[in-house]
Every structure is written in structure tokens, then in C-alpha cells.
């Protein structure tokens, strides 16, 4: 079967909009590499986000700011190679789209061409309107991101709940409407009051994916390493852990170390 006639089972941006219309929730997780992308894709995830949280999770930085466009392309391409069903969305990193719209388009085109991703995610509303217009006009699907936008962490001063005050909540509601009007296919809302997130989800046709935004939205996203319990120092209120890989890996590696030291590994069957 040629590539042109092969049945395409992959989710599209349209699929997600239809899922919202039918009231079917969207499950999204981050992944940054081929091996985990294969696992997550095979387990039935709808959307994989190659988040700039790779800066924290993969590289050990305190913030998402240091990660580069080349590094995001490397992670994005690795994830795309590991998937056949999920829609893969790659974050445009800090400093690659906020200054001038032509620069933003150049960054966006590089990620789409060099990683094979299906869509991009950008943080912000009104303040990045011109960059969004340019990228969307080139036919590149965009997921927005409002609320706690980690690329602005130094402006916020902390990772505390956003949009508690009326003025910020009002701006967030206007930004969500603007993103929909510009043509974004979905919006991530991070760490805002559940009632506000639900109100925004009801006000737009495009899916709202929450993280720390309650259950009244159209889907949820978590950082995969957090939900697998790989970081035993990170326990925010919004996080549910579905495994304790920190303990599992410690136990497995500890057993391996002791088997190597005691020469119980490898045994005769494991030798040539």
C-alpha cells in the first residue's frame, strides 16, 4: 500500500474539535523521546505534547526558558517517530516567537519541517496576536496556552494559581475568545480556578485542555514523568500519580547492582 492510499488513523485537529462537540474528553500527556512516545501512543493517548517542560524534565533546568529551538526539534522528531495514532504538538520555546511575526513564522516552519510535528503550542494571548496570525496564515495548526504560562515565570514571580483576581480573569476570557477567532484549534489552561476554566470551556467551540484547571474542561494534560511518579519531590495539588516509577526504578537498579557485585548476574543461561 502506498503512502498516499494508506489508511490514516492518526487523530487530527478536526478530530479533537469533533470530540468536544460530542462531549468526549481528550487525554493528553507530554513525551520527549521515542521510547516513551511509543508506549504512550500504544496505550491510546489522544495528543502527545512535546512540551518545553523538556527543559526541566530532560535537561534539569529550573525553568523552561533555556531550551532552544534545535533541542525542541530534536525532541519533537524523536516523538513523531514513535507514534502512529496520536496528534503530536510541539511547544515553540521562549524567545522564538515573541519578538517579530516573521521570526515567529520562521521558527514555526522549522519545527514543522524538521520534526514532522502536526501542530505547535504557543503561550500567550493578545500580546502575541501578530505572530499567531502569521503562523496560522501559513497553514500551521496552533494550540494556545493561557493562565500560568511558564515562559513568563520571572514576570509572575512564582508558580502560584493565576487569574484569581477579576482583571486577570477577564483578560484570560478575552484572550481565549481571541485565540478561537484567530483560528487556534485548542487551548491549554494551566493552574486557574476550576469555575473560570469551565466558563471559558463553555464560551468557545474549540477544546480546552486543563492542567490544574478542574474537571469542567474538555480534556486534561499532565507531564508524563509526574503522573508516572518518577519525581518524588513534586506533589502539587492538581497531580494524580498513576504509578510509582521512582520506587520501581530504585528497586530494579538496586537489585541489578547487587546481582553484579555478587556475580549472580549473568548466570550460565545468560552467557554465550
From the candidates 190, 198, 269, 270, give the one annotated as an active-site residue.
190
90 three-state secondary structure: strand
Is 91 annotated to bind a ligand? Reply is: yes
Taking the complex as a whole, the smallest distance from the CB of residue 153 to ligand KIV amounts, in Å, to 12
H or E stretch at 17: helix 13-22
Separation of alpha carbons 20 and 14, rounded Å: 10
Residue 53 as a binder of ligand KIV (CB under 6 A): the answer is yes
Residue 120 as a binder of ligand KIV (CB under 6 A): the answer is no
* Contact indicator for 84, 10 with CB cutoff of 8 Å: yes
Is 165 annotated to bind a ligand? Reply is: no
Separation of alpha carbons 204 and 143, rounded Å: 14
Contacts of 242 (CB under 8 A, 6+ apart): 227, 228, 229
User: C-alpha dihedral over 59, 63, 64, 69, to 10 degrees?
Assistant: -60
Taking the complex as a whole, the smallest distance from the CB of residue 272 to ligand KIV amounts, in Å, to 44
Q: Give the binding range for ligand KIV (CB under 6 A) out of 4-12, 49-57, 71-79, 100-108.
A: 49-57
Is 52 annotated to bind a ligand? Reply is: yes
| 59 vs 137, beta carbon nearer ligand KIV | 59
Pairing of strands 47-50, 219-222: unpaired
Please pick, from the candidates 87, 172, 217, 221, the single residue that binds ligand KIV as defined by CB under 6 A. 221
Asked if 190 is an active-site residue, the reply is yes
Give the number of other Cβ atoms within 10 Å of residue 171's Cβ. 14
Residue 226 as a binder of ligand KIV (CB under 6 A): the answer is no
Please pick, from the candidates 120, 223, 228, 230, the single residue that binds ligand KIV as defined by CB under 6 A. 223
Residues in the chain: 272
Q: Give the binding range for ligand KIV (CB under 6 A) out of 50-58, 95-103, 233-241, 251-259.
A: 50-58
Binding site for ligand KIV (CB under 6 A): 30, 49, 51-53, 91, 145, 188, 190, 211, 221, 223
Query: Which residues form the catalytic set?
Result: 190
Amino acid at each position: 500500500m502506498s503512502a498516499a492510499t494508506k489508511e490514516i488513523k492518526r487523530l487530527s485537529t478536526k478530530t479533537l474539535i469533533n470530540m468536544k462537540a460530542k462531549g468526549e474528553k481528550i487525554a493528553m500527556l507530554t513525551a520527549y523521546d521515542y521510547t516513551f512516545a511509543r508506549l504512550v501512543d500504544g496505550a491510546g493517548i489522544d495528543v502527545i505534547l512535546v512540551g518545553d517542560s523538556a527543559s526541566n524534565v530532560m535537561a534539569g533546568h529550573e525553568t523552561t526558558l533555556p531550551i532552544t529551538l534545535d533541542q525542541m526539534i530534536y525532541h519533537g522528531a524523536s516523538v513523531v517517530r514513535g507514534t502512529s495514532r496520536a496528534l503530536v504538538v510541539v511547544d515553540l520555546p521562549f524567545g522564538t516567537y515573541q519578538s517579530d511575526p516573521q521570526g515567529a513564522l520562521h521558527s514555526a516552519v522549522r519545527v514543522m519541517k524538521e520534526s514532522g510535528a502536526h501542530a505547535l503550542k504557543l503561550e500567550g494571548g493578545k500580546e502575541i496576536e501578530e505572530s499567531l496570525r502569521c503562523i496560522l496564515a501559513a497553514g500551521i495548526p496552533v494550540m494556545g496556552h493561557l493562565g500560568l504560562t511558564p515562559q513568563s515565570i520571572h514576570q509572575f514571580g512564582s508558580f502560584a494559581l493565576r487569574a484569581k483576581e477579576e482583571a486577570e480573569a477577564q483578560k484570560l476570557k478575552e484572550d481565549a475568545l481571541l485565540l478561537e477567532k484567530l483560528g487556534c484549534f485548542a487551548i491549554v489552561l494551566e493552574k486557574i480556578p476550576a469555575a473560570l476554566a469551565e466558563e471559558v470551556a463553555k464560551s468557545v467551540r474549540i477544546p480546552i485542555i486543563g492542567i490544574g484547571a478542574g474537571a469542567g474542561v474538555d480534556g486534561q494534560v499532565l507531564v508524563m514523568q509526574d503522573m508516572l511518579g518518577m519525581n518524588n519531590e513534586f506533589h502539587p495539588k492538581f497531580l494524580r500519580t498513576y504509578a510509582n516509577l521512582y520506587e520501581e526504578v530504585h528497586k530494579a537498579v538496586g537489585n541489578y547492582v547487587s546481582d553484579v557485585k555478587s556475580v549472580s548476574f549473568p548466570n550460565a543461561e545468560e552467557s554465550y
